[in-house]
């Protein structure tokens, strides 16, 4: 962060900075103007962040990414973080139950990746893990590559970074030779398949796999150098010998040829088994490309997952019907069957007929612990624990996530996403407290200062007032027909401000019995409202907009307050506006204005944290008034971290990713 384009005018005590070529004038508060030195270097933040917890799982569009390690930890990924999750014993009947023993519910994290992880494989020794990522915003610092690491020590053992394009989508260790080879398929046009001597980080061979999407590549468990791939209109049987990869395509013959072959596994007999988009299973003659057994109508809709249990049974998981079906080793159907889908918005189990929206999604991955405990990763980014009644142990949002607000008085915080879910979490217990599905996609949220209510703004212009305890709907309003970008309650008065994509800020008063009524709107911005702060006395506001303006307002007169002589010394209750005198230091020198999505000042005014388009969470000393300011930067999210907030007591920081849908909880230490 250099100060090259920022200048200070001593006479009127203003800074001038440029964002995307636009000049922005920022008046220095009198107390800071006195000894202001623009060329000084802003001090390092007095605190650090430590990633404590990651809420979420990536099951929406990734496969084969859930395993149980010998120590009982689950391994999976979300955003750029591989999570090692020590799950509580399955004694809890309901996930909303209060947690009695926090210690059992712990996470460790492997954070070597620089962008979204897309693939994961477990080594036959059950200790080493390979994870593959996609290319980042900056190709130079985030190339698509594979990292092989030790799940006990979190030490990186090898990095494979040679020639992958876009993303590494499929990974599998060889099994018959104790895992010395790794096969990978990337997301290039040719979906290149490569085989690696991973310990030497050396690529042995690569070749085109298919012009269509490939979803799985697996080494045969017994047969050496034999690999099976599947994907869109594709089952490939590969023999790797004499320095060449030779492919035979699977022949469906007279059988119903599917559009997609979604998943594959190997029966104890050595035969490969594939599941397809028609809900059919095909068993392939060992080492051959011909079908020996074709089982139709196993699922209603696609088969997304095949798992061979420790007892040798075959469990298949449906994408649409969200069912598990069980077979023995001879593919005779067993009576057992399980349903993972039908829960209402509060995740209460419903009758099977009532298949409502509020479900966990289809079966994406299956893993098994000791004592036949079964874990299911779902297409709606949740992980459930069974068997029998499947209870969620990991809950994730499954669509773009922007809305975040912290409870002013407790360890709780709320998130709301375009998946329409509003969720209240407890940072102490690291659990979901309550969840509700709205009719609209959510964009913004705020807690009322008395912690009693949560306001949630939606993309339609509708916004809700919910009871913060149980998320019961208390009222709803509509302002404009564009997204409600931001909501802020005044700290000390019964007022609130609603910032819309339509460039207006709507003001509401909260009267007797908490009845909300509209006072009017603030007009003057020529782009969408991005951030709002109130003064501590609730008399004034400042707002930022999409065209990098900073405007000041008088709430009672609902008029603009253009006089820097008065506005410069307002006492701000929050500092969520990213374009202010006290946040000059959070802008990188080449910022294009959209780079910083949000910031938040700690309640004790010691720190300010920002989140950006490059997947970074940044921590600064507050105020960050020098263009050149030292800071600490943390990865974990993939591109576009959309929101950030300190918990009420500043002990933790919460960040949310946009498309990575992850919620990260950081200890401030």
* Cβ proximity to ligand NAG, 370 vs 565, nearer residue: 370
Residue from 265, 658, 661, 662 in contact with ligand NAG (CB under 6 A): 658
Contact between 279 and 322 (Cβ < 8 Å):
no
Q: Closest approach of Cβ 655 to ligand NAG, in Å?
A: 13
Q: Closest approach of Cβ 172 to ligand NAG, in Å?
A: 22
Residue from 30, 71, 156, 566 in contact with ligand NAG (CB under 6 A): 71
3-state secondary structure of 343: strand
Query: Which span sits near ligand NAG by CB under 6 A: 69-77, 389-397, 525-533, 586-594?
Result: 69-77
Our CA angle for 481, 345, 68, nearest 5°, is 120
Q: Closest approach of Cβ 613 to ligand NAG, in Å?
A: 8
Q: Report which residue's Cβ sits closest to ligand NAG.
A: 658
Query: Which span sits near ligand NAG by CB under 6 A: 68-76, 340-348, 407-415, 560-568?
Result: 68-76
Q: Closest approach of Cβ 642 to ligand NAG, in Å?
A: 5
* Cβ proximity to ligand NAG, 636 vs 658, nearer residue: 658
Write out the E strands in 277-388. 281-284, 291-295, 303-308, 314-318, 323-327, 333-339, 363-368, 374-378, 383-386
Q: Does 309 bind ligand NAG (CB under 6 A)?
A: no
- Scanning residues 380 to 419, which ones bind ligand NAG (CB under 6 A)? 400
Query: Which element (helix H / strand E) includes 153?
Result: none
Q: Does 72 bind ligand NAG (CB under 6 A)?
A: yes
Q: Token pair 């623009």 is at which residue?
A: 38
- Scanning residues 357 to 386, which ones bind ligand NAG (CB under 6 A)? 370
* Cβ proximity to ligand NAG, 98 vs 139, nearer residue: 139
* Cβ proximity to ligand NAG, 574 vs 642, nearer residue: 642
* Cβ proximity to ligand NAG, 250 vs 658, nearer residue: 658
Distance CA 27, CA 107 (A): 45
Query: Which span sits near ligand NAG by CB under 6 A: 66-74, 235-243, 492-500, 526-534?
Result: 66-74
Q: Which residues are CB-contacts of 307 (< 8 A; sequence separation ≥ 6)?
A: 265, 314, 315, 316, 317, 366, 367, 368
Q: Does 310 bind ligand NAG (CB under 6 A)?
A: no
Q: Does 201 bind ligand NAG (CB under 6 A)?
A: no
Q: Does 642 bind ligand NAG (CB under 6 A)?
A: yes
Q: Does 640 bind ligand NAG (CB under 6 A)?
A: yes
Q: Closest approach of Cβ 373 to ligand NAG, in Å?
A: 10
Q: Would you mind telling me the total number of residues written for the chain in this entry?
A: 669
Q: What share of the chain is helix, strand, coil (3-state, %, to 5)?
A: 5, 45, 50
Distance CA 549, CA 297 (A): 59
- In sequence order, the β-bridge partners of residue 365 are 377
C-alpha closest to that of 635 among 81, 34, 17: 81
C-alpha closest to that of 529 among 589, 443, 467: 443
Q: Does 104 bind ligand NAG (CB under 6 A)?
A: no
* Cβ proximity to ligand NAG, 641 vs 653, nearer residue: 641
Q: Closest approach of Cβ 369 to ligand NAG, in Å?
A: 7
* Cβ proximity to ligand NAG, 169 vs 193, nearer residue: 169
Distance CA 77, CA 82 (A): 4
Sign of CA dihedral 384, 277, 164, 128: positive
Q: Does 91 bind ligand NAG (CB under 6 A)?
A: no
Q: Does 123 bind ligand NAG (CB under 6 A)?
A: no
Q: Does 448 bind ligand NAG (CB under 6 A)?
A: no
φ, ψ for residue 457, nearest 5 deg: -95, 140
Q: Does 86 bind ligand NAG (CB under 6 A)?
A: no
* Cβ proximity to ligand NAG, 72 vs 268, nearer residue: 72
Q: Does 35 bind ligand NAG (CB under 6 A)?
A: no
Would you state the structure tokens that stand for residue 663, as one six-digit string?
């919620």
Contact track, ligand NAG, 597-636, x by CB under 6 A: ----------------------------------------
Q: Closest approach of Cβ 659 to ligand NAG, in Å?
A: 4
Q: Which residues are CB-contacts of 606 (< 8 A; sequence separation ≥ 6)?
A: 46, 47, 621, 622, 650
Distance CA 157, CA 146 (A): 11
Q: Which residues are CB-contacts of 466 (< 8 A; sequence separation ≥ 6)?
A: 422, 436, 453, 454, 455, 456, 472, 473, 474
Parallel/antiparallel/unpaired status of strands 374-378 and 363-368: antiparallel
Q: State the number of binding residues for ligand NAG (CB under 6 A).
A: 9
Q: Closest approach of Cβ 402 to ligand NAG, in Å?
A: 7
C-alpha closest to that of 152 among 72, 212, 48, 210: 72
Parallel/antiparallel/unpaired status of strands 652-657 and 663-668: antiparallel
* Cβ proximity to ligand NAG, 219 vs 402, nearer residue: 402
* Cβ proximity to ligand NAG, 35 vs 91, nearer residue: 91
* Cβ proximity to ligand NAG, 153 vs 370, nearer residue: 370
Contact between 15 and 633 (Cβ < 8 Å):
no
List residues binding ligand NAG (CB under 6 A).
70-72, 370, 400, 640, 642, 658-659
């Amino acid at each position: 962060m250099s100060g090259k384009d920022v200048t200070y005018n001593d006479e009127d005590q203003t800074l001038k900075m440029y964002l995307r070529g636009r000049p922005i004038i920022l008046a220095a508060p009198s107390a800071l103007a006195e000894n202001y030195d623009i060329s000084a270097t802003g001090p390092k933040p007095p605190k650090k962040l430590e990633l404590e917890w990651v809420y979420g799982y990536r099951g929406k569009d990734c496969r084969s990414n859930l395993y149980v390690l010998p120590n009982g930890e689950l391994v999976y990924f979300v955003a750029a973080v591989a999570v090692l999750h020590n799950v509580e014993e399955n004694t809890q009947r309901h996930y909303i139950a209060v947690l009695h023993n926090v210690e059992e519910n712990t996470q460790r994290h492997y954070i070597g990746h620089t962008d979204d992880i897309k693939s994961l494989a477990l080594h036959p020794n059950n200790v080493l893990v390979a994870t593959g990522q996609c290319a980042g915003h900056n190709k130079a610092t985030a190339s698509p590559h594979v990292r092989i690491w030790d799940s006990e020590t979190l030490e990186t053992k090898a990095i494979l970074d040679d020639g992958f394009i876009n993303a590494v989508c499929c990974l599998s260790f060889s099994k018959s030779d104790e895992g010395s080879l790794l096969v990978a398929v990337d997301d290039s046009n040719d979906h290149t398949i490569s085989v690696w001597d991973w310990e030497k980080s050396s690529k042995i061979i690569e070749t085109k796999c298919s012009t269509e999407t490939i979803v799985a590549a697996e080494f045969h468990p017994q047969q050496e150098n034999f690999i099976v791939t599947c994907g869109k209109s594709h089952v490939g049987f590969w023999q790797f010998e004499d320095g060449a990869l030779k492919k035979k395509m699977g022949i469906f013959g007279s059988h119903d040829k599917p559009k997609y072959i979604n998943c594959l596994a190997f029966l104890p007999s050595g035969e490969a088994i594939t599941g397809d988009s028609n809900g059919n299973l095909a068993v392939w003659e060992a080492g051959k490309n011909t079908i020996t057994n074709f089982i139709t109508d196993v699922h209603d809709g696609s088969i997304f997952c095949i798992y061979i249990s420790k007892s040798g049974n075959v469990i298949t998981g449906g994408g649409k019907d969200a069912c598990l079906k069980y077979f023995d080793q001879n593919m005779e159907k067993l009576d057992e069957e399980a349903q993972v889908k039908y829960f209402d918005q509060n995740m209460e189990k419903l009758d099977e007929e009532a298949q409502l929206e509020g479900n966990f999604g289809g079966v994406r991955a299956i893993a098994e612990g000791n004592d036949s405990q079964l874990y299911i990763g779902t297409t709606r980014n949740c992980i459930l624990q069974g068997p029998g009644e499947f209870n969620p142990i990991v809950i994730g949002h499954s669509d773009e996530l922007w809305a975040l607000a912290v409870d002013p008085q407790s360890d709780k915080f709320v998130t709301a996403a375009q998946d329409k879910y509003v969720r209240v979490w407890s940072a102490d217990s690291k659990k979901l407290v309550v969840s509700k599905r709205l009719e609209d996609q959510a964009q913004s949220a705020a807690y009322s200062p008395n912690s009693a209510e949560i306001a949630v703004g939606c993309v339609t212009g509708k916004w809700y007032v919910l009871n913060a305890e149980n998320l019961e709907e208390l009222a709803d309003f509509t302002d404009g027909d564009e997204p409600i970008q931001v909501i802020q309650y005044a700290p000390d008065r019964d007022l609130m401000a609603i910032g819309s994509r339509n460039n207006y800020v709507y003001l509401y008063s909260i009267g007797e019995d908490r009845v909300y009524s509209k006072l009017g709107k603030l007009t003057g911005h020529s782009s969408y409202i991005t951030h709002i702060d109130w003064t501590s006395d609730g008399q004034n506001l400042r707002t930022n907009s999409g065209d990098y303006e900073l405007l000041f307002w008088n709430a009672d007169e609902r008029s603009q307050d253009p006089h820097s002589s008065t506005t410069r010394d307002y006492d701000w209750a929050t500092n969520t506006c990213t374009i202010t005198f006290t946040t000059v230091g959070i802008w990188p020198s080449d910022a294009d204005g959209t780079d910083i999505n949000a910031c938040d000042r700690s309640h004790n005014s010691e720190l300010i944290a920002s989140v950006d388009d490059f997947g970074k969470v940044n921590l600064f000393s507050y105020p960050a008034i020098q263009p050149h300011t030292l800071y600490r930067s943390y990865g974990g999210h993939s591109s576009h971290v959309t929101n950030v907030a300190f918990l009420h007591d500043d002990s933790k920081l919460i960040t949310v990713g946009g498309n990575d849908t992850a919620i990260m909880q950081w200890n401030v230490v």
